[in-house]
């Protein structure tokens, strides 16, 4: 399969929107990036349409076509009949004029090839030897059957598509011509590559519009001289049926659009519930006017249907039929390599996803898979991982955060911007003399705490750290930190109980005060004693001095 879709990895945001919309789940995730599984993809383009980051890109072949134009050979465009809906008010004459300005030799409608194809369908049905015949115009439907419904391959018409029929017709009429198909489809790029030299390049309407803009070519309405044809109805649901003669006896003619509806019909065929039917199948809802490029850039299904219907006519294009060998194509089975897990392996993976009981399997589809079991199979096949289960991640995150909060030695409260308690842990309940979280959850915080610090934190848009608060009602001292999360508009309050520390500090202060007081008294008393001793020593010394003086004098007199 040609690599028609590529991924801009830097833009993939791991949103899983592409896998949710992929009808065959042909996307795997690695390193938080979406990767297309080539041997399962049917190129319906839904991942391209729904990607919110425009991470999926269609491979552009504009430069390849420019090389053709410079080569000197005639390059002729085959324009899908949905062009009339994509380019408002612009008919084939105006399109041809604009394309010639780009260097194209000529441009024609793919509806010419559609005329050849629908005649072949009528001829097959008239033979009456086919129980069920499925149209093979849509390459995405062909890939769907080739890869996912191989038992239904015998029912798929072995007839070339209108694109191929028209390009073969062009090459029959123009020697050495290069053919370029222009339409709203991704899968046509793969079809052109897969079937060799019939179609040399494929452009989308978007790629052509960008090219016109770069070359300053403006599409201007012109009067069409070309006769209107009913084959122009091909890009609408039931358009193939509306062009066919439908004169084969005993056949029911059905038109089915959308991959899901096509898959349902294929299951009915597999189960033997449908017989004697011609089924027009289109992967896109609304058929080609709902193609991925149309849907992404020009989504107007009702208006587009009306536009195509008005542009169509009642007659067929007059075309020369192709030889039968050129109208037949081989559509082979395309095997898929992914193994299926056993029941035990599925059960083990489900348990890893937290699905231990059947009722745990919510089948919510948020991961992109219809059931938890389908997700488990995708994990086994390496297409998904456990982290894609949002309920599992949510429960895991909540369990982890709840364990941290509830086992924290600190009191924790979480409030919304209305200052209503959203969560409270066991420690905080103990601080507030509450028994159960339900006693305060959803209630204003003013019932248990002063709201002023919370209001201040919101007004300042910052955090208030380690402010000591006395909770008078609870006779408790706490270090309180309040954090305001602007993004989630939540307030987090963390309280550390310091009551014992405060009381211990106060007791120490009292003891220290008492010690100082006792020391002061001891010092004062000692000073008094010293003073008294000094006084006594002074008196004794004076008396001794007098006595010694008198003794000295008496000795001297002798």
Domain boundary among the residues 407, 424, 447 is at 407
Task: Give the residue numbers spanning the domain of 398.
Answer: 338-407
In a domain, 283, yes or no: yes
Q: What is the pLDDT of residue 139?
A: 97
pLDDT average per 10 residues of sequence, the chain (558 residues) = 71 79 87 83 92 87 96 96 92 95 97 96 95 97 96 96 97 95 96 93 96 95 81 96 93 96 97 96 95 82 92 90 93 81 85 79 74 83 73 65 79 92 91 90 92 90 80 89 88 91 88 82 82 76 69 66
User: What's the pLDDT at 2?
Assistant: 54
pLDDT in tens, 506-531: 898 888 888 888 877 888 888 888 78
Q: Are both 435 and 288 inside the same structural domain? A: no
Answer yes or no: is 121 within a domain: yes
Q: 402 by DSSP, 3-state: which?
A: helix
- In this structure, what token pair is assigned to residue 344? 């035990």
Query: 437 and 391, same structural domain?
Result: no
Nearest Cα residue to 182 out of 300, 292, 79 = 79
Selection from 400, 440, 390 nearest residue 419 by Cα: 440
- Give 175-180's long-range contacts (Cβ < 8 A, gap of 24+): 176/73, 176/74, 177/73, 177/74, 177/75, 177/76, 177/105, 178/68, 178/71, 178/73, 178/74, 178/75, 178/76, 179/75, 179/76, 179/77, 179/78, 180/65, 180/68, 180/75, 180/76, 180/77, 180/78, 180/104
Predicted TM-score (pTM) above 0.85: no
Taking the CA atoms of 101, 106, 112 and 114 in sequence, report the sign of the dihedral they define.
Answer: negative
The pLDDT value given to residue 526: 82
* 143: nearest Cα among 130, 124, 156: 156
- 291 and 393: one domain? no
Structure-token pair, residue 138 = 């849509």
Domain limit, last residue, from 349, 375, 407: 407
Token code pair at residue 56: 């999926």
Cα pseudo-dihedral 153, 159, 161, 164, rounded to 10: 130
Total domain count, the chain: 4
My answer on whether 321 and 359 are in the same domain is no
Strands 201-204 and 178-183: parallel
For the stretch 429-444, pLDDT in tens is: 999 899 898 999 999 9
Same domain as 475, residue 437: yes
In this prediction, residue 467 carries a pLDDT of 83
- Position 1 scores a pLDDT of 52
Last residue of a domain, one of 363, 381, 407: 407
Say if residues 180 and 203 touch (Cβ distance below 8 Å).
Answer: yes
Which residue has 């193994």 as its token pair? 339
Question: Quick check: is 332 in a domain?
Answer: no
Q: According to the model, what pLDDT value does residue 14 have?
A: 67
Residues 431 and 384 placed together within one structural domain of the fold: no
Which segments of 25-116 are extended strands (E)? 27-30, 33-36, 56-58, 75-79, 106-109
Is 388 a domain residue?
A: yes
Same domain, 182 and 322: yes
Asked whether residue 226 is domain-assigned, the answer is: yes
CATH code, domain with 428: 3.30.450.20
Q: Tell whether 16 is covered by a domain.
A: no
| Widest distance between CA atoms in the chain | 179
pLDDT at 85: 93
């Amino acid at each position: 399969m040609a690599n028609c879709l590529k991924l801009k990895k830097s833009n993939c945001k791991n949103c899983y929107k592409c896998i949710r919309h992929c009808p065959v789940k042909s996307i795997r995730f690695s390193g938080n990036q979406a990767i297309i599984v080539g041997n399962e993809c049917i190129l319906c383009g839904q991942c391209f349409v729904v990607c919110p980051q425009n991470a999926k890109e269609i491979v552009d072949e504009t430069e390849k076509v420019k090389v053709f134009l410079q080569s000197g050979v005639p390059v002729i465009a085959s324009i899908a009949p949905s062009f009339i809906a994509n380019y408002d008010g612009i008919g084939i004459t105006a399109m041809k004029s604009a394309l010639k300005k780009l260097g194209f030799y000529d441009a024609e409608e793919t509806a010419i090839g559609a005329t050849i194809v629908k005649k072949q369908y009528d001829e097959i049905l008239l033979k009456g030897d086919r129980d069920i015949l499925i149209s093979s115009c849509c390459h995405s439907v062909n890939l769907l059957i080739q890869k996912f419904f191989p038992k239904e391959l015998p029912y798929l018409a072995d007839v070339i598509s209108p694109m191929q029929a028209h390009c073969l017709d062009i090459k029959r009429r123009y020697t050495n011509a290069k053919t370029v198909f222009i339409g709203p489809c991704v899968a046509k790029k793969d079809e052109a590559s897969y079937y060799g030299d019939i179609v040399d390049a494929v452009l989308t309407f978007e790629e052509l519009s960008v090219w016109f803009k770069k070359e300053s070519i403006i599409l201007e309405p012109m009067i069409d001289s070309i006769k209107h044809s009913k084959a122009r109805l091909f890009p609408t649901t039931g358009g193939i049926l509306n062009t066919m003669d439908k004169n084969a006896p005993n056949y029911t003619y059905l038109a089915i659009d959308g991959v899901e509806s096509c898959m349902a019909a294929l299951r009915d065929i597999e189960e033997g519930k449908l017989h004697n039917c011609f089924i027009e199948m289109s992967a896109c809802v609304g058929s080609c006017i709902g193609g991925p490029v149309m849907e992404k850039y020009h989504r107007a299904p009702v208006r587009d249907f009306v536009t195509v219907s008005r542009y169509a006519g009642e007659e067929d294009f007059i075309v020369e039929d192709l030889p039968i060998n050129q109208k037949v194509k081989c559509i082979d089975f395309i095997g898929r390599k992914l193994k299926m897990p056993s029941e035990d392996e599925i059960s083990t993976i489900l348990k890893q996803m937290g699905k231990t009981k059947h009722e745990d399997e919510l089948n919510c589809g948020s991961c992109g898979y219809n059931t938890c079991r389908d997700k488990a199979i995708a994990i086994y096949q390496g297409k998904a991982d456990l982290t894609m289960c949002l309920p599992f991640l949510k429960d895991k995150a909540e369990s982890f955060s709840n364990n941290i909060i509830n086992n924290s030695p600190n009191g924790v409260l979480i409030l919304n911007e209305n200052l209503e308690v959203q969560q409270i842990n066991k420690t905080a309940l103990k601080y507030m003399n509450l028994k159960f979280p339900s006693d305060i959850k959803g209630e204003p915080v003013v019932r248990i705490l002063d709201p002023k610090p919370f209001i201040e934190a919101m007004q300042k848009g910052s955090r208030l750290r380690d402010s000591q608060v006395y909770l008078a009602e609870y006779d408790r001292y706490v270090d309180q930190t309040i954090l305001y999360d602007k993004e989630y508009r939540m307030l987090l309050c963390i309280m550390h109980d310091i009551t014992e520390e405060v009381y211990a500090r106060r007791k120490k202060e009292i003891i220290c005060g008492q010690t100082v007081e006792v020391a002061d008294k001891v010092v004062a008393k000692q000073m008094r004693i010293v003073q008294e001793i000094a006084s006594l020593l002074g008196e004794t010394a004076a008396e001794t001095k007098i006595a010694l003086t008198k003794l000295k004098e008496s000795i001297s007199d002798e």
